[in-house]
Amino acid sequence: MADAMSASGRTTTPPPNGPGERALYNKAEYAGRKAVVCSPRRAAAVLVLVFLAVLAIALVAAFARPACLPSTGVVGPTTVAPPVATRPTTADGEPFPWDSLRLPPAVLPRRYELLLQPNLTTFAVVGRVKIQITVTQETSFIVLHSRNMTITKRELHTSDDSVNVSITRLLLYPERDQVYLSVNESLQLGQNYTLSFEFNYTLREALEGFYLSHYTAANGSKRYLATTQFEPNAARAAFPCFDEPQLKATFQLAMVRHESHTALFNTPRRSTADLDFYLGAGIKQDDFFETVRMSTYLVAFIVSDYAHISDTTDGNVLVSVWAPPHLVQQGQFAAQVAVSVLDFYTDYFGLPYQLPKLDLVAIPDFAAGAMENWGLCTFRLTSLLYEPSSGGSAIQQWVTRVVAHELAHQWFGNLVTMEWWNDLWLNEGFATLMEFIGAGHARPEYHMGQQFMLEATLTALALDSLRDSHPISVEVTDPDQIESIFDTISYSKGAAVLYMLMKELGQPVFKAGLNKYLRRHSLGSARTADLWAAVQEAAAEAETPPAGDGPPDVQAMMDSWTRQKSYPLISVVLSAGRLTVRQAPFTQLPAVGARQSDAPLWHVPLSCRLHRRAGLLAVRLNGTASVTVSAPRQSAWYYCNVNKTGVYRVTYPADNWAALQQLLLAGSSHLSVQDRAAIIDDAFSLNRADLLNASVPLRLSTSLSREAGLAPWAVSRRHLDWWLQLLYDQPTHAPLQHFVRRLIAPQYGQLGWSEQGSHVVRRLRALVLAWAVSVRLPEAVARARTLFSDWRNAGLPVPPDLRQLVYSTGVEYGDTGDWQFVWQRYLNATTPTEKNSLLRALGASTDPLILEHFLRISLAGELVRSQDFVLVVESTAANQAARLRLWRFVRLNWHKILDKFGGGTFMIDNIIQELVSRFSTQLELEEVRAFFDGKDLRSASRSLRQALESIQLNIRWRGSHQAAAAAWLEDWSRREAAGAAPPTARHWPN
């Protein structure tokens, strides 16, 4: 985003603050001037005249607004930002007539004709754009977007070029990237015009707009490429345009390039012409077919010397993976996934993919994981390229998911686009849901049901229980807010509530609703309500209606989940043959002054499994606080939210928690792997919220000694690792570490260090071994160090699934020579996944001088790519020995970090979260508050507030629950030392 400017564009001297200061101020201002003396009456008259003059100017300014300026705050079909407090001005101090974040509705773009000539030697870009526009309201001005470019020529003609309309004034408002053009005659309603610009700028390594990237070729030479990243609002940095998602148009591109390069666009190349005569030897121009109607943020073009591999779908779509020539064969796996998923989505959505080709391009410098540009998706190298010899099962699964995510966007986001950014979740929540469904189709052995619960539902529940969360559908009134909603709520919670709806209605009804939605709004824009309307129609038309008393009111149900933040805690009590269900908002730190009467309510679909009852018991809370239904009297246990399909947590009386633990220990078939993980996750989360004694999640965790499912292990590690970090400097740390070692031992012995087993078994092995090393299981540490030594000294390869673990262990327990060895391997590595593993391992050092050196060279951005600095922060923050040094380093280098990443990007969000959310003392909390006080974090402000809330939770947990955890662990250790069998839940303290 552009740097913020003051309203006036100038600095001013502050006014005096008191009588004494006023005298000094006046003396300094008028020293050396001849005094001017006037009587009190004359002074009063002058003041009255000045006041009247100011009032007259204000009235003139108020009524001299442009004819189409909205006074209601509404532009077109969507709500816009209210006017800024002070009138905007240009950098030169001239008043800027348009004062809304949103563009005026009087002019709509229909077609762009774009010519670009980037020079990958000088990095200069020269361009021309012709925009065909339609006038929807008579107007004498046009407002559009432009950022960080020099406009050298502008023209406006009637559509047939017969009449030139004079542009009398061009004004720039950099704070909002807006260009204001006034014309000498009114543009007439219903008429078409052509608006033309010539412009130039310089390619920079900026990670947005049309920017510069590079890679190192197999021969060691540095090769440049120019690529794009326009979402959410950076198309304006590549060419002047109407850069709002609902302002769709068609695009035609002509790209001038050297013959050694290839140009890519959203559509296939139509023709190539030689420009040798005009521009010199080897210069060519590629002309591309015109696109379908699409949003500016989905436009993409790339100039590079990449190679590609291709395959074709059953629907005859050409799918190509592009990468640096020496890496392109690592794109084979992604190409196979893309072909499979594209055919699957065509059938699932009931609509064909709209373009004849789909390019997937690996970009060396890329801020996000990937971007869904229509027909030309871009990816980080590590999100697209996979080499079996160096990438383990986790990398393979990640590539599958990311490809499936971006391909889902070709329908949800590209074919139908959200009308404005407050409905970003329509794009991202749906694509996140579909990435698991699509990946599960392409690779059934991944068991993506477990993965969805872990990566989407539970991730969303963790963040959304903070006070400083936000609704899924959130009003966007400021440019910085657009960046801030590309977060877990829009992606993961959005996906989780869609999954809940799908399970409530049934997949056939859900698919039918999606098909209606996509067909109805194809090549256009939509709002959240449009999706609910389509799904409601499908539910009403279903031959087999959803279970229960007929289909729910989809709009009412889903509004309760998308238009208010947080989620409910469901309390379930079974007594005397009656099951009573109550809901209340679940917030880990209750809001100060919150009243129960103001508590939100949700429409909650609940499925329960009860002892001695066949099938599931369906319960609905239709926006009510509680409901009671009949249930079997002899139920020894009951469990609600079967398979964790609902986006909420559930709690029970103490006797049912004990009964559920007995079920876990018995390995009961009544509980799925998702159920077992969810029970453990709910217990730990309720404890963190101060609603459940620490002994309950500890008791439940003992079931890990007999657990073979990935999800329960992943959940338990997530929470127990957090406890270990909070207790790092406390006496309870050692007994908790011993407890975890005992839980791990059975699975550690069974899984071993082999490479055998299914995908899920290999994922579980990597998790268990890494956890064993982190809690200092002696034989695990010894084995990892031996594998590192064999790799370093004898060149023996480390199994791909274990490389991150082995490299990190070697660095942590090694000396300077070991660190230098890994560093050199990082510098020389050519496989992206291998470089990632090595870079993460380098942050495991316990040597303060090495860590300081590593942080400095990483921030410099020469040997470590700027995009990877967040990985360095993440790995160093996870290192207990490095955390305080990292905090000191970031404080000393904060301005450099801001200069590199800007205050309004998710990379700053990630740095803040990783840096401080693990702190757990009042002193650290005050240090963080003091350091960030007064700093302009723009969209990262919410991340800071969430991190501060996490620190408060950590402090509270240490004060409230450490003693109970210590007492339980002491009792457990005493029983273990005595050789007693593990006691049943009812014998353990609550």
Q: What is the DSSP string of 229-246?
A: E-TTTTGGGTS-B---TT
Radius of gyration (C-alpha) of the chain in whole angstroms: 31
The answer to whether residues 135 and 194 belong to one domain is yes
Beta strand spans in 96-160 (E): 107-118, 124-135, 139-145, 150-158
**Domain-located, residue 395:** yes
Looking up residue 75, the CATH number of its domain turns out to be: 2.60.40.1730
Question: Which tokens belong to 138?
Answer: 């008579």
The amino acid occupying position 250 is T
The answer to whether residues 220 and 321 belong to one domain is no
Q: Which helix (H) or strand (E) holds 69?
A: none
In three-state secondary structure terms, 305 is coil
The answer to whether residues 326 and 373 belong to one domain is yes
- How many angstroms separate the CA atoms of 975 and 421, rounded? 57
**Domain-located, residue 344:** yes
pLDDT at residue 134, as a whole number: 97
**232 preceded by a cis bond (ω within 30 of 0):** yes
Beta strand spans in 314-455 (E): 318-323, 357-363, 370-371, 376-380, 416-418
- How many angstroms separate the CA atoms of 832 and 868, rounded? 12
- Tell me if 723 sits within 8 A of 736, measured CB to CB: yes
Percent of the chain with pLDDT over 90: 78
State yes or no: pLDDT of 37 exceeds 80.
Answer: no
The amino acid occupying position 893 is N
The amino acid occupying position 130 is K
Q: Which helix (H) or strand (E) holds 579?
A: strand 578-585
Q: Does 546 or 43 have the greater pLDDT score?
A: 546
pLDDT at residue 776, as a whole number: 96
Among the listed ranges 61-75, 340-354, 523-537, which one has the minimum average pLDDT value? 61-75
Active site residue 862: no
**Domain-located, residue 451:** no
What Å distances lie between residue 1 and 730, 763, 903, CA to CA?
44, 39, 9
User: pLDDT (tens digit, 9 = 90+) per residue, 220-257?
Assistant: 999 999 999 999 999 999 999 999 999 999 999 999 99
The answer to whether residues 128 and 239 belong to one domain is yes
Residues 6+ apart with CB under 8 A from 524: 248, 293, 416, 417
Question: Which tokens belong to 851?
Answer: 């860590």
- How many angstroms separate the CA atoms of 25 and 785, rounded? 70
- Tell me if 75 sits within 8 A of 60, measured CB to CB: no
pLDDT at residue 669, as a whole number: 82
Burial class (CB in 10 A: 0-12, 13-18, 19+), 812: buried
**Domain-located, residue 734:** no
Q: Does 187 or 65 have the greater pLDDT score?
A: 187
pLDDT at residue 303, as a whole number: 98
**Domain-located, residue 14:** no
The amino acid occupying position 807 is Y
pLDDT at residue 970, as a whole number: 96
Residue 244's domain comprises 50-204+213-305
- How many angstroms separate the CA atoms of 331 and 201, rounded? 33
Structural domain total, the chain: 2
Which phi and psi angles does 377 have, rounded to 5°?
-75, 140
Q: How far apart are the first and last CA of the chain?
A: 53
pLDDT band at 28 (very low <50, low <70, confident <90, very high): very low
Percent of the chain with pLDDT over 70: 88
The answer to whether residues 294 and 344 belong to one domain is no
User: Burial letters for 640-661: b for 16+ Cβ neighbours within 10 Å, e otherwise?
Assistant: bbbbbbbbbbbbbeeebbbbbb
**Domain-located, residue 836:** no
Domain end, chosen from 424, 446, 468, is at 446
What Å distances lie between residue 646 and 134, 606, 798, CA to CA?
47, 7, 41
The answer to whether residues 318 and 255 belong to one domain is no
Q: Does 34 or 353 have the greater pLDDT score?
A: 353
Catalytic residue among 406, 483, 707, 949: 406
Full-model pTM: 0.88
**Domain-located, residue 242:** yes
Q: Does 356 or 450 have the greater pLDDT score?
A: 356
The answer to whether residues 317 and 287 belong to one domain is no
Name the residue among 253, 303, 256 with its Cα closest to residue 114: 253
pLDDT at residue 980, as a whole number: 60
- How many angstroms separate the CA atoms of 571 and 604, rounded? 12
Q: Which helix (H) or strand (E) holds 263?
A: strand 262-265
pLDDT at residue 424, as a whole number: 93
Question: Which tokens belong to 742?
Answer: 């005992």
pLDDT band at 80 (very low <50, low <70, confident <90, very high): very low
Among the listed ranges 268-282, 478-492, 712-726, 858-872, which one has the minimum average pLDDT value? 478-492
Which phi and psi angles does 574 have, rounded to 5°?
-110, 120
State yes or no: pLDDT of 186 exceeds 60.
Answer: yes
pLDDT at residue 12, as a whole number: 29
State yes or no: pLDDT of 493 exceeds 90.
Answer: yes
Domain end, chosen from 259, 276, 305, is at 305
State yes or no: pLDDT of 453 exceeds 60.
Answer: yes
Which phi and psi angles does 153 have, rounded to 5°?
-155, 140
**471 preceded by a cis bond (ω within 30 of 0):** no
**Domain-located, residue 394:** yes
State yes or no: pLDDT of 370 exceeds 80.
Answer: yes
**∠ CA(183), CA(186), CA(191), 5° rounding?**
110
Burial class (CB in 10 A: 0-12, 13-18, 19+), 190: exposed
Name the residue among 496, 522, 210, 504 with its Cα closest to residue 353: 522
DSSP structure class, residue 704: G
Among the listed ranges 38-47, 343-352, 516-525, which one has the minimum average pLDDT value? 38-47
Three-state DSSP string of 74-99 = EECCEECCCCCCCCCECCCCCECCCC
State yes or no: pLDDT of 69 exceeds 60.
Answer: no
pLDDT band at 483 (very low <50, low <70, confident <90, very high): confident
- How many angstroms separate the CA atoms of 380 and 366, rounded? 6
CB atoms near residue 547 (< 10 Å): 14
- How many angstroms separate the CA atoms of 947 and 466, rounded? 10
The answer to whether residues 373 and 423 belong to one domain is yes
Mean pLDDT of 648-658: 97
State yes or no: pLDDT of 613 exceeds 90.
Answer: no
State yes or no: pLDDT of 40 exceeds 90.
Answer: no
pLDDT band at 484 (very low <50, low <70, confident <90, very high): confident
The amino acid occupying position 728 is Y
Among the listed ranges 140-154, 470-484, 491-505, which one has the minimum average pLDDT value? 470-484
Mean pLDDT of 615-638: 91
The answer to whether residues 163 and 279 belong to one domain is yes
Question: Which tokens belong to 330?
Answer: 């690592």
Q: Which helix (H) or strand (E) holds 103?
A: none
Mean pLDDT of 742-771: 95
Question: Which tokens belong to 808?
Answer: 């990190």
Calculate the average pLDDT of the chain.
88
User: pLDDT (tens digit, 9 = 90+) per residue, 799-815?
Assistant: 999 999 999 999 999 99
The answer to whether residues 437 and 378 belong to one domain is yes
- How many angstroms separate the CA atoms of 859 and 855, rounded? 6
pLDDT band at 10 (very low <50, low <70, confident <90, very high): very low
Name the residue among 761, 769, 843, 754 with its Cα closest to residue 806: 769
The amino acid occupying position 871 is L
Q: Beta strands 568-575 and 649-651: pairing type?
A: parallel
The answer to whether residues 193 and 266 belong to one domain is yes
The answer to whether residues 187 and 256 belong to one domain is yes
- What is 1-51 written as a DSSP string? -PPP--SSSS--PPPP-SHHHHHHHHHHHHTTSPP----HHHHHHHHHHHH
State yes or no: pLDDT of 487 exceeds 60.
Answer: yes
Most confident of 272-281, 839-848, 904-913: 839-848
Looking up residue 351, the CATH number of its domain turns out to be: 1.10.390.10
Q: How many residues does the chain have?
A: 990
Domain end, chosen from 305, 330, 365, is at 305
State yes or no: pLDDT of 16 exceeds 80.
Answer: no
State yes or no: pLDDT of 757 exceeds 70.
Answer: yes
pLDDT at residue 41, as a whole number: 46
CB atoms near residue 44 (< 10 Å): 11
State yes or no: pLDDT of 11 exceeds 60.
Answer: no
- How many angstroms separate the CA atoms of 338 and 413, rounded? 18
Mean pLDDT of 827-838: 94
pLDDT band at 53 (very low <50, low <70, confident <90, very high): very low
Q: Does 942 or 560 have the greater pLDDT score?
A: 560
